[in-house]
Every structure is written in C-alpha cells, then in structure tokens.
Amino acid sequence: MKIAVQTKMSLSALLVTIMTLVSACTMGLDPAWKSVGTTLSFGMGSGGSSRSAESRALIQGSGFLYICADTTVYGPYLAAASKMFTTSDVPAGTYGSIKVVFSASVLDRAWLVRELSSAPSWSDLAGNLAADYSGLLSGNEIEDFTIEPEKANVLSMTLLPVVAAAHTADFTSSTQQLTLPSTGNGSGRRFAVC
C-alpha cells in the first residue's frame, strides 16, 4: 500500500512538471538554459518612413545585404527597408573593419571577396563597386568594432550611395541635379541639391 501511494505521488509530481513545461512553451517563454546568443543588428532606413531624412540608401524597399567582417563575407541576406535586420552568423570578436553593402540584386560572392581583398578601406571598395554597380548599391564601413558574445550587438551607420566619379555633383553652384543610370526597371534615380 505504501509503495502504491509513493508511485501515485511520483506520477503526480511528474505530471505537474510536464504540464508546467508545456504551458511555459505555449506562452512563448524561453527556458532558462536557452541563451540569448550573439547577434548583430541594425535598422534599415526607408524613404517612406519617418526616418527618411536619415536614410541615404539608394535602394528602397527590399534588397540584398552583405556583411564583410574583415575579409569574411556573410550574406546575401534578404533585408527590407524600415525593418530591423538581425543575424547570428557573424561570430563574436573584435574586427578591424565591418563593411555593409546593400544591393538591389544578388552580387557575385567570389567577385565581392576578391574586391574586399584588394580594397583596404571603404572608399577603395566603393570605387571598385562603382565601376560595375554605380547607382545600384549603398554601403559603409565601421572600424574597430567588437561583437560581444551572448549579447545583442547593434551596429550604427549611415549607408552611403555608391556612385561612379562621373556621377559626382559639383556643389559649388546654387542648384545642382544628379541623375544616375536606370536600374533596369525604367526608373532613374535623381537627387536635387539646393
């Protein structure tokens, strides 16, 4: 009789434990043993958002994002304007340079890796990218960035349009218009400076 009571109590305790675990999972709670992990995040500005004055990216809407940590390329990732982008692909560590490239189309990964190895700075890389992708890319670089382990790391930068030198505006005049080549969908890109 004593064994039957102990078995019933053990089964009751097991049932309560299982019910607690199941209810915690259905409420969207993460278990205590599950870590946050190491993530890298940043917001993508949009011409249609309230942050439009801050957004200088040529690509509006969705596009393809590449993260170049030192000489390692991560991506392409599908990213959308006005959305927070987060990845756990870039490992924790201190990087001499993190370059971000946002493109209207998928780039040749081998080509991008080759360009990174021959371009020590963002301005060199932007010049190389502009030769083939003028008006179709935005990007920038941040130097000496540390991604801390088991934390949500936020990267803060303004994406700059990548344009060929032939498309550079002379701001000495009172009004200047800069028209970039069409993106293939019949629409050109224009910036007016007053």
Per residue, what are the HEC states of 129-151?
HHHHHCCCEEEEEEEEEEECCCC
CA distance 22 to 150: 26
Q: What is the model's pLDDT at position 11?
A: 64
For the entire predicted model, the pTM comes to 0.64
Dump pLDDT digits (tens) for 28-85.
Answer: 555 444 456 999 998 876 444 444 444 455 567 788 999 999 889 999 999 987 788 9
Predicted pLDDT at 13: 62
DSSP state of 167: G
Q: What is the mean pLDDT of the chain?
A: 74
Nearest 5°: the CA angle 24, 25, 27 is 65
- Name the least confident of 76-90, 105-119, 176-190: 176-190
